[in-house]
Chain A
C-alpha cells in the first residue's frame, strides 16, 4: 500500500468522523486545521484508523504524531 493510497483512505475516515465531506488532508495538516479535532475525537479517530487498517498504535507512537504526514508514515510502517 503506497502512502498516497493511505492518505486517500485516511481522508475518507476523517470525513466520516468529523462530518465534513469537503475536508481535504495534506501531509502538513495538523489538529489545529481540523475543526472539532480535540482529545475526545482523537481517541475515536485513532480507534477507527486502527480498525480500518488492522493495526494497533502504541502509546509512545501516538504521542509522536504531529501532523497527517506522521500519521501516514506510521500506518505505512505498521502495514509493513
Chain B
C-alpha cells in the first residue's frame, strides 16, 4: 500500500528527476507534479523532496502551484513524515510549506503570541497525537474538552483549518475480546475516543484524518513499528510515510478545491466483461450467475454511489455509439443508466481528443478528470498526452476496481450538501440545455426560452456549508480565488460592513442550486471592495453575471457606497474572467502581473441588460 499501487510506474523516473535537477527552469513545477504522480521508494521520495525544495525556491512565485502553509503539531516525532506530505500535496498541485514544533512543544507554541508557529501563520494545522495522549484515568469528557480548546485556539488565533488525526489502535489488549470491560484499558479508551472524535470534529468544523480506519484496511503493523516507537518515538513509521503523506495531500487537496470532479469510464471490460461490438447485448458478461458478471455489477454500483454524492460520470469508449447506448438502454442487468452519464462519447477517435472534448463539454479542467480504463495501452496514451489527468493503474481483476478507486482517494470530499446530491441531474440537464442551444440558432431567443430566475439572499447559517464549499473549489469564474474556512465565512454573517450574497438559479429545466457567491467590504470612504466574486462554471454565458452585478450595485447603494472596487487576481485557471470587469463597464485603475484593479461609480445608471429575472429572498436558499 505504501507504494500507492494505483499510481503508474515510470521506467525512466530516476533519469527524469536527474534531468529536472540539472535544468529546473524547463517546466520545473509541472514536471515535479508529474514525477510525484508515479510510484516511488522511500529513498526516491527523499530525492524528489530535495529536488522540489530547490526547484520551488529557485523558481519565481509563479510556479503554477498554489501554496499552502501546514503546521504539524503532535506528541511524537513527525519530521520523517514531511517529505511524504509535501509529495502528497504536489500530487494535488499544491506546494506545501511545513512547520513542526520542537518535540512535544505544540501547546506553548499555540499559546505564545510571537512563537515560531504564530510567525509561520499556518493556513492548516494537523494534530497528530500518539495514543499516550489518552493513557491514564482522566475521563474522556475532559480529554475531549481539552482537545476542542486546542482546536478553538488555533481557529481563533490563526484562522486556520484544523485536521485531527485519529489514534492508531496500537495498545495491546489486557482482557481480550471484551477489553471495554477492563477499567482504564488504553486499548478500550482509544477505541471509544476515536468513536467520539467523529462527532466532536463535526461540531467544531474539524476535518479528520482517519488512520484508525486505514489500520483496519492495511493492518496496524504497516503503520506502527513498536521498535521504531522505542528507538525514535515514531508513532507512524517511515514504512507508511508515502501513504500517510498522500492522505494528508488529499485532505489539503479537498480543502483547497483540488479534488477530482468527474469519473470518465471506458466500457468494454471496465463496466462489463467482453466487447459489446463483438459479443453483443446477450454475449457480454454482466449480472448475477458468475463471478465476473457480478464483479462488473458491483463496479457499476460503486460508480452510481459516487454519482449520488455529486461526482459527475462520463463515458469515453472506442465503440459504435449506437451499440454502446443499446447496452445501457436494453441490458436488463445494467445498473448505470444513460441518465447517470452527463457526457457520453463513443467513437473511434483517439481517447485524449475525446477526453479534452468531455472536459470542455462539462466545463471543468482536465485535472478534474479521473479516467478508468482496463487497457494499459489506452491508459498510457492518455498519460502521455494529458499528464494532468488522473489515470489509475486498475488491477487486472474487475472485482478490485472499486477498492482501487477508493484507495486512490481522487474524489476526497469533506461534506455532503444537498446540491451535491442533485449534481448529476444538473449536469444531465446541462446536456439538454446544450442540445437546446444547438437547435436554437439565435442565442437571445434561447436564453429567453430558458425562463431563468435568480434568487438572492445574504449568507445564512443553513447555507454555510455549501457557500464554503463553493469558495474553496471554484477555480474558473473566480476573480480573486480567496479561500475561506467555514469559521471565516460565518464571521461575515451580521457584520454591518460586509456585503454577502448567495445566488440560486432556477430555469425551466431544473434547479441549478447556489451558483454564485459575492463578498464585499465597505470602507469609510464609501468604496465597496469586491473581495470575492465567483460563479459555477455550469451557468457561464447566460447573463447571470449581469444580473449579479445589478443586485450587487443595488445592495452597495443601500449600504451608502459611492463606488464599486474590483480586483482581478490571475491564477492558472481564471483567465476567463480577466476582462470581466471591463465587459461590465468598470474603468481600469491599475494593472500589473499580479492582477488588475477596476472601479465603477455608483452615482450614475449601472443597470445591465440580462435575461435573468431577479427575485428577493423569502427563505433560505438551501432546501431543508
Contacts and interface: CB of A to CB of B under 8 A. Distances in A.
A16 B46 contact: yes
B42 A43 contact: no
Interface in B204-240: 227-228, 230-232, 234, 237-239
A16 B45 CA distance: 9
Contacts of B227: 59
A17 B41 CA distance: 11
A20 B239 CA distance: 23
Contacts of B80: 40, 43-44
Given A43-B80, A47-B238, A13 B231 contact: no
A47 B46 contact: no
A15 to B, nearest CB: 9
Contacts of A47: 42, 228, 237-239
Main secondary structure of the interface of B (DSSP, over half): helix
A59 B227 CA distance: 7
A28 to B, nearest CB: 23
Interface string B340-380: 00000000000000000000000000000000000000000
B232 A13 contact: no
Given A48-B41, A51-B41, A43 B46 contact: no
Interface residues of A, number: 14
B328 to A, nearest CB: 46
A2 interface: no
Given A19-B50, A59-B227, A43 B44 contact: no
Given A19-B50, A59-B227, A43 B43 contact: no
A47 B80 CA distance: 12
Interface string B70-103: 0000000101100000000000000000000000
A22 interface: no
Interface in B172-186: none
A48 B228 contact: no
Nearest to A14: B43
B542 to A, nearest CB: 54
A48 B232 contact: no
A55 to B, nearest CB: 14
Interface string B33-71: 000000001111011001000000000000000000000
Contacts of B238: 43-44, 47
B237 A19 contact: no
Nearest to B42: A48
A19 B46 contact: yes
Nearest to B43: A16
B231 A16 contact: no
A68 to B, nearest CB: 17
23 contacts: A16-B44, A16-B46, A16-B47, A19-B46, A39-B232, A40-B232, A43-B232, A43-B234, A44-B42, A44-B46, A44-B80, A47-B42, A47-B228, A47-B237, A48-B41, A48-B42, A48-B43, A51-B41, A51-B42, A52-B41, A59-B227, A59-B231, A62-B231
Interface of A: 13, 16-17, 19, 39-40, 43-44, 47-48, 51-52, 59, 62
Given A19-B50, A39-B232, A62-B231, 5 more contacts: A16-B44, A17-B43, A47-B42, A47-B237, A52-B41
